[in-house]
Amino acid sequence: MRIGVFICHCGSNIAGTVDCAKVAAIARTYPDVVYADDPMYTCAEPGQAAIEAAIHEHKLDGVVVASCSPRMHEPTFRRTVERAGLNRYMLEMANIREHVSWIGKDMEANTNKAAELVQLAVEKLRNNKPLMAKSFDVNKRVLVIGGGVAGIQAALDCADGGVPVVLVEREATIGGKMAKLDKTFPTVDCSACILGPKMVDVAQHSNITLYAYSEVEDISGYVGNFTVKIRKRSTYVDWSLCTGCGACTEKCPAKKTPDAFNELTGTTTAITIAFPQAIPKKAVINPQFCRQLLKGKCGVCAKVCPTGAIKYDMEDEIITEEVGSIVAATGYDLMDWTVYKEYGGGTYPDVITSLQYERLLSASGPTGGHVKRPSDGREPKNIVFVQCVGSRDKSVGRPYCSGFCCMYTAKQAILTKDHIPDSKSFVFYMDIRAPGKMYDEFTRRAMEEYGTEYIRGRVSQIYPDANGQMTVMGVDTLLGQPVEIKADLVVLAVGVEASKGSPQLAEKLRISYDSYGFFMESHVKLKPVETNTAGVYLAGVCQGVKDIPASVAQGSAAAAKVLALFSKDKLESDPQIAQVDIRRCVNCGKCIRCCPFGAIKEVEIRGEGKAQVIETVCQGCGLCTSTCPQGAIQLSHATDNQILAEVNALCQC
């Protein structure tokens, strides 16, 4: 075998603490190494060209690149050797940046370690065999999970691109959090007016199948061929008959049902249509409050329904859909702010969340757009906004910034002045974070044109006083003085957290999530839409906090990824998968039980039971290879012999 070795300087990233020329010189002494060099930037165009030239000139049949983590550039160098006519699996990488130069300062020790890692890679490469990818068909349909603005955008862009879309929404209507907002910053245009048409497009698009009031139950398969089980929760209303006329909601006697769409600021009926522009505009019965379902006595909605759509005996339904790609757009929820006992922990009716305040401002809200205090229905005159409640606060396990609260607080202060001209708004803030287009100008408008008083500091306590007002005690850190404000209404800018059930969904999707439940992108900067699971993409706040424009942009980006994936008729499978040596297999079944992907099945070969790997399902995790007592299953490109060759090399160093 003829091996070429390239020791990358990575500018000064590696060369700063590793003697790259010396490592190259040592590498020349390793068996089968016929060429070694130490280029400045191996990944740059000249660097790659040098590898190609070396392959031709020295008739190399294997290449080792010692540089950064293979996570980023293994695909790059695989393409490089392929261009020069080698099999792409005749490449090995040694990570001498993250594993060497970035973590140690001792030049001599680093150089030795780098040389050892290169030797490992050389020994591995000597045992490599060319591997060939197989190709398989792509099912050109996409599943979008979550019908908020990000999911809507992704669904519409995919559908416009000719791809059939299955859109699954947990709530009874699409629209997500944006549908609950009154106005949007920085233009103060009506949220329902700009989102509404998009929602209607979803309903009318021939390429979109919408499952509302449904949840993803199970996902199996792989890129190009996912099988998804969707649980259509029982609405107790046959939506094929329901016309959304609303007769049932007018007559329903259970009028004290908490109104989830209005963030519990008001009550609704047990059978309800979330809001006038709901998509689909269909009624849903809340079984926890329906008198017929609870006590078996009522049946009013069934009597008044002109189409006979009410079905009290309806049950959940499981639907199976086959798709080739998935976009997760599950959005966010507000954190449980009642942990803040100093703010009353949810016991004071006039201390509300910002999302509740949106409902009070909204014309379709419980007060018809007139701002009224929950406690006594009076119009508040002094309103205190408290920012960062559950954001940037380590003490409640929420150290991150929720990103858009500074902006919507400014918006709410402006809207408050518009609604109640003789009102006075105060905003307690930590820092004003307004880095978007027209954003800082907007917060300045709240201060300068609308006379909102911004107080830099935290609120230490909120409690009710004798006159039905709330006393807000805090500190003005610019003046260095405690402040006390009497408020009629306190609005808490409650921090954002990943949507409830995110970790569970991530596990179904086999994607990673961070300690707060946000889904992990494939690369923080360069792959913000992809996940580490091929064919699964992210859009909106499920990946990290972002506002409406950014969510829409990411929805479109995810759609672009799906369309790019579907531009090919066939995909190549990864040949780095497990393979069974049937001469050694004793059919003990241990591999079948340990495989997390269900990728191994039992087959009969010449009258004997044997394990067989389903190539398209295997993810190459290697669990089976370490479980097999016979060594009968080997993971291609990480065989026992290859690993032992590395260990041997290391032990002889």
Distance CA 354, CA 409 (A): 8
Our CB check for another protein shows the closer of 171 and 393 to be 393
CB of residue 341 to another protein, shortest distance in Å: 3
Our CB check for another protein shows the closer of 187 and 338 to be 338
| Segment contacting another protein by CB under 8 A, of 181-189, 313-321, 341-349, 363-371 | 341-349
CB of residue 461 to another protein, shortest distance in Å: 7
345 near another protein (CB under 8 A): yes
Angle in degrees, CA 331, 337, 343, rounded to 5: 150
566 near another protein (CB under 8 A): no
| Segment contacting another protein by CB under 8 A, of 83-91, 456-464, 525-533, 535-543 | 456-464
Distance CA 469, CA 423 (A): 14
Our CB check for another protein shows the closer of 235 and 469 to be 469
CB of residue 352 to another protein, shortest distance in Å: 17
Query: Which positions from 346 to 375 touch another protein by CB under 8 A, shown as an x/- string?
Result: -x----------------------------
Stretch (H or E) spanning 486: strand 481-487
340 near another protein (CB under 8 A): yes
Among 132, 134, 463, 609, binds another protein (CB under 8 A): 463
461 near another protein (CB under 8 A): yes
Among 2, 59, 341, 500, binds another protein (CB under 8 A): 341
| Segment contacting another protein by CB under 8 A, of 249-257, 279-287, 342-350, 373-381 | 342-350
The DSSP bridge pattern shows strands 470-476 and 459-464 to be: antiparallel
DSSP track, 120-139: HHHHHHHT-------EEE--
Our CB check for another protein shows the closer of 142 and 494 to be 494
Our CB check for another protein shows the closer of 278 and 472 to be 472
Our CB check for another protein shows the closer of 347 and 504 to be 347
Report long-range pairs for 620-627 (Cβ below 8 Å, ≥24 apart): 620/574, 620/576, 620/577, 620/578, 621/596, 621/597, 622/578, 623/594, 623/595, 623/596, 624/578, 624/590, 624/591, 624/594, 624/595, 624/600, 625/578, 627/590, 627/591, 627/594
For residue 337, the tally of other CB atoms under 10 A from its CB is 20
Our CB check for another protein shows the closer of 459 and 539 to be 459
344 near another protein (CB under 8 A): yes
Among 16, 287, 464, 575, binds another protein (CB under 8 A): 464
Q: Which of 557, 580, 563, 596 is nearest to 630 (CA)?
A: 580
Interior/surface letters 60-73, b for 16+ CB within 10 angstroms, e for the rest: bbbbbbbbbebeeb
152 and 555 Cβ atoms separated by less than 8 Å: yes
Question: How many residues belong to the site for another protein (CB under 8 A)?
Answer: 12
Distance CA 436, CA 433 (A): 9
- Which residues does 124 contact at the CB level (< 8 Å), separation at least 6? 92, 642, 645, 646
Output the CA–CA distances (angstroms, integers) from residue 506 to 74, 212, 232, 502, in the order listed.
26, 20, 20, 6
- Which residues does 294 contact at the CB level (< 8 Å), separation at least 6? 287, 288
CB of residue 223 to another protein, shortest distance in Å: 47
CB of residue 463 to another protein, shortest distance in Å: 3
465 near another protein (CB under 8 A): yes
Among 105, 437, 466, 524, binds another protein (CB under 8 A): 466
106 near another protein (CB under 8 A): no
Structure tokens at 326: 């998935």
CB of residue 409 to another protein, shortest distance in Å: 23
342 near another protein (CB under 8 A): yes
| Segment contacting another protein by CB under 8 A, of 172-180, 259-267, 286-294, 339-347 | 339-347
Torsion of CA 71, 72, 75, 79, to 10 degrees: -150
Q: Which residues bind another protein (CB under 8 A)?
A: 340-342, 344-345, 347, 461-466
